[in-house]
Amino acid sequence: MALLETITSPAALKALPADQLPALAEEIRTFLVAEVSKTGGHLGPNLGVVELTIALHRVFESPRDTLVFDTGHQSYVHKLLTGRQDFSKLKKKGGLSGYPSRSESEHDVVENSHASTALSWADGIAKGRRLSGESDRHTVAVIGDGALTGGMAWEAINNIAVDKTLPLVIVVNDNERSYAPTIGGLADHLATLRTTRGYERFLDWGKRSLARTPVVGGAMFETLHGVKKGIKDIVAPQGMFEDLGLKYLGPVDGHDEQALERALSKAKDFGGPVIVHVITQKGRGYQPAIDDDADQFHSVGKINPETGLPFEVGGRIWTDEFNDEMVAIGRDRPDVVALTAAMLIPVGLDGFAAAYPDRVFDVGIAEQHAVTMASGLSYSGLHPVVAVYATFLNRAFDQLLMDCALHHAGVTFILDRAGVTGSDGASHNGMWDMTLTSIVPGLRLAAPRDGEQVRKQLREAVDVSDGPTVIRFPKGDVADPVTAVRAVGDVDVLFENSGDEVDLLVVGVGAFAGLAIEAGEKIAAHGRSVRVVDPRWVIPVSDDVVGLARRAAAVAVIEDNLVSGGVGAAVTLALRDAGVDVPVHTYGIPKRFLDHASRVQILEELGLTADQVVLDLEKRL
């Protein structure tokens, strides 16, 4: 790592002779494989942008010039070149974030990791600096072809294109995939760009040919104009960008550092918005990622760097339960279809897609479109299942409210990675979904406590045709099965040590059912009468929960969601409206963004362990 160790800043990189850059790129790839294999992280995307990131930092002057990375999972190389080379605690408490982070470096600007936002950020930064009289500062947005499938990116392009003097460079990092292969019309368009020669050379040939043709009036010029007009969209699909008013450069070999520097320098000097189209290979330089399915190396756990195989094979996860049951439901219900936003495998729809390929719609990174499209599918007589990470439902709340719920559309939403996820940081914790969905009229939300309940409640959800339903479950290994002692209506009683009246009713939400049982048992051991229940369908609050609360001296609600506006708040309101005057103690996530750390560390910090809940409840009871 002799060269890499000398790169403590972009200035040191600029001072490095050009003939040493290939060796530096090789060192960076060796470093990434060695370090990320120990900690886990986004490996494939970073291996693909090594030369591109080197060129960006040699042509532009960060932080005076601003680099904005869309999504941010390709920012490891940027971290290395800006002096952050201790990857020993990557994504761990006290270590480097897996995404750009303002708290880490002045070179980082946008630290959220939701896709398709970089162009809007860049547009605002560039225009703001110009208004401040800093027109000599450049703004560069690096966006993948996958992120370009998001509608917000095109809203930004629509605004950027009309400003002919804006010093803004858009680098399209085209590796033909987001998490999975990029799909849709834009993907086809970029594929054509990758494989088509420029039309200007064709026109040069046409001019030479026509020069040898007798001129009859204006026929030659009409012919030339017709040739240009007719072939432009065939052999020059960059016209789509240029017709919008954006200068287009490329395609450029994303692994030819000198070619990248030349293209970026031209873009920098152009004096207006420019798109630089760069072709890269995800997983470049790491044979396991090239030989195997590149999707598996987008984000990895701890792996053997020699083979690319995980050291430990994980157990059965929550997503597996959904995956298998969807296949079974698809067999029983031909009206059930599925939608994914560029994450077919991570959200567990690959099994359904393999069994029923014509009934799966991958819309790209376009959650808003997915939800409204699902509402249309519902209107046509189908029952759509929209599977996304819980944190990404935030992006489509308006569509959920106005297009789905307002129209009583029977759509089921599967929210994977709900609650505290941990190592991916603030933007990936699925801690807002129950707060957001609790205000949607007619929406019903279930939080399964184990794999059996995932399957059962998914069946119940797809039977609902008059409004949206939501099933949410966390990241990681599925919880051990929890058998109910008895049922009170739709509510499962998981533990009780008394008759009808109790000192404390504990409501465990979803995967926190186990924690609720443990806490309830410990309080019962202190001589109190306790009943622990799982409402199963937690929004809206059922009459059965209200009835059980009438027979308790106090209620505690434990949930993996914001306390503000969560299930505990909904229970409090439901009891008040029913005239049930008992105190409700709520345990969940405070209203703040959470630093990256392990899930266990975060839950302990938040007081969401059985011992901490018991200690607090004993003070309150």
Catalytic residue among 111, 367, 460, 559: 367
Task: Give 53 or 222, the one with higher predicted confidence.
Answer: 53
Average pLDDT over residues 384-398: 95
| Assigned fold of 486-620 | Rossmann fold (3.40.50)
Q: How confident is the model at residue 182 (pLDDT cuts 50, 70, 90)?
A: low
Q: How confident is the model at residue 610, as a pLDDT?
A: 95
**What average pLDDT does the structure give for the chain?**
87
Average pLDDT over residues 315-337: 96
Asked if residue 145 has pLDDT above 90, the reply is no
Determine whether domain 318-419+447-456+464-472 maps to CATH 3.40.309.10: no
Task: Give 237 or 551, the one with higher predicted confidence.
Answer: 551
Asked if residue 400 has pLDDT above 60, the reply is yes
Partners of 172 in the beta sheet? Answer: 143, 277
Catalytic residue among 395, 455, 472, 475: 395
Q: Whole-model pTM?
A: 0.85
Query: 367: annotated binding-site residue?
Result: yes
| Tokens 């935030």, located at residue | 394
- Mapped onto helix, strand or coil, the DSSP state of residue 326 is helix
Query: 277: annotated binding-site residue?
Result: no
Q: How confident is the model at residue 214 (pLDDT cuts 50, 70, 90)?
A: very low
Task: Give 113 or 536, the one with higher predicted confidence.
Answer: 536
CATH annotation of 2-196+237-297: 3.40.50.970
Please give the structure tokens belonging to residue 47.
């291996």
Gap between the Cα atoms of 577 and 535, Å rounded: 19
Average pLDDT over residues 554-579: 96
Average pLDDT over residues 7-17: 95
Beta strands in 148-273 (DSSP E): 168-174, 247-253
Task: Give 495 or 239, the one with higher predicted confidence.
Answer: 495
Query: 369: annotated binding-site residue?
Result: no
Of 91-95, 348-352, 439-443, 503-507, where does mean pLDDT reach its minimum? 91-95
Q: How confident is the model at residue 72, as a pLDDT?
A: 83
Query: 366: annotated binding-site residue?
Result: no
Task: Please confirm, yes or no, whether 14 is among the known catalytic residues.
Answer: no
Q: Indicate the domain borders of the chain.
A: 2-196+237-297, 318-419+447-456+464-472, 486-620
Q: How confident is the model at residue 236, as a pLDDT?
A: 47
Q: Are strands 486-488 and 491-496 parallel, antiparallel or unpaired?
A: antiparallel
Average pLDDT over residues 3-27: 95
Question: What's the angle, vertex CA 17, arms to CA 13 and CA 19, rounded to 5?
Answer: 120
Q: For residues 394 and 383, is the Cβ–Cβ distance under 8 A?
A: no
- Mapped onto helix, strand or coil, the DSSP state of residue 188 is helix
Gap between the Cα atoms of 388 and 395, Å rounded: 11
How distant is the alpha carbon of residue 255 from its chain centre? 26
Q: Which of 275, 246, 237, 270 is nearest to 162 (CA)?
A: 246
Percent of the residues in the chain that have a pLDDT greater than 70, as a whole number: 86
- Mapped onto helix, strand or coil, the DSSP state of residue 534 is strand
Query: 225: annotated binding-site residue?
Result: no
Task: Please confirm, yes or no, whether 164 is among the known catalytic residues.
Answer: no
Q: How confident is the model at residue 190, as a pLDDT?
A: 59
Average pLDDT over residues 187-211: 49
Q: Would you call the peptide bond into 540 cis, given omega within 30 degrees of 0 as the criterion?
A: yes
Query: 147: annotated binding-site residue?
Result: yes
Asked if residue 311 has pLDDT above 70, the reply is no
Percent of the residues in the chain that have a pLDDT greater than 90, as a whole number: 67
Q: How confident is the model at residue 352, as a pLDDT?
A: 98
Task: Please confirm, yes or no, whether 395 is among the known catalytic residues.
Answer: yes
Q: How confident is the model at residue 230, as a pLDDT?
A: 40
* Common-topology check for domains 2-196+237-297 and 486-620: yes
Task: Give 541 or 308, the one with higher predicted confidence.
Answer: 541
Q: pLDDT tens-digit profile of 581-621?
A: 999 999 999 999 998 889 999 999 999 999 999 999 999 98
Average pLDDT over residues 377-394: 96
Catalytic residue among 29, 79, 177, 282: 282
Q: Which of 197, 538, 477, 554 is nearest to 321 (CA)?
A: 477
Q: For residues 323 and 55, is the Cβ–Cβ distance under 8 A?
A: no
